[in-house]
Structure 1
Amino acid sequence: MEIKAIHDEAGYRAALAELDRTWDAPKGSPGSDRMEVLTILIADYERQHHAIEDPDPIALLESMSWRRAASPARIWNPASDHDPGFPKCSTGAAR
């Protein structure tokens, strides 16, 4: 595969496939250099076309609360007296 800019999904998939083929190239080899260039091109394409936005902090806490069946306060202090699943250290010091 000739290395060139990625302009569409077909080029993106082809670059991913080529990256997979060169993944185990020894460091400093032409394959390693090829892999490095492909990684940069793929990352740039993903940043432009498959961006993942940062989560809303409140929504993230609510999601964590739901998954742990806990209140947001217990997420910040999991060793609270209200959570028997996280016993406190007897010495009061972190181990």
Structure 2
Amino acid sequence: MEITLIRTEKDHRAALRVVSSLVDQDPSSDSPEGVRLDVLSSLIEAYEQKHHAIDSPDKGGVDVKSLKDVKAQLLANPAVRQAYDAQAPEFELARELIGKPIQE
């Protein structure tokens, strides 16, 4: 099991591909693949906290108006709108975060 530190965007993208593949395999946590998934996930999280940090709303990073604008842009796509309105299971978290469907 070769695991290296994530130092660059290229390393980050490669680690994300490996993690995606491992998640698809659904390894048990005590298997070599499960351990690799856990370690890589931790390395990715550390890299993203350092290089892709998102400011909290109280630091001026996000406001409600910009979130509503993003929601409107996303829902302008018919496929996204259909899935959103159908309450597909994979959209449940998004529905909780951004609220009820927009009334037309």
In the TM superposition, what are the counterparts of 1:1-95 in structure 2 within 5 Å? 2-23=2-23, 24-56=26-58, 60=63, 63=65
CA spacing shift, 1:21–1:54, aligned 2, 3 Å: same
Q: Unaligned stretches of 5+ in structure 2? A: 70-104
The structure richer in helix per residue is 2
Look up the match of 1:91: none
Q: Unaligned stretches of 5+ in structure 1? A: 68-95
Higher deviation after alignment, 4-13 or 25-34: 25-34
CA spacing shift, 1:57–1:50, aligned 2, 3 Å: closer
1:69-89 superposed Cα distances (whole Å, 9 cap, x missing partner) = xxxxxxxxxxxxxxxxxxxxx
* Identical positions, percent: 38
> CA RMSD of the aligned region, Å?
2.5
Q: How far has the Cα of 1:57 moved from its partner?
A: 7.9
Could you list the structure 1 runs, at least 4 aligned residues long, displaced by more than 2 angstroms after superposition. 56-60
How many residue pairs align between the two structures? 65
Q: Which has the larger radius of gyration?
A: 1
Q: Normalization by structure 1: what TM-score?
A: 0.58
Q: Normalization by structure 2: what TM-score?
A: 0.53
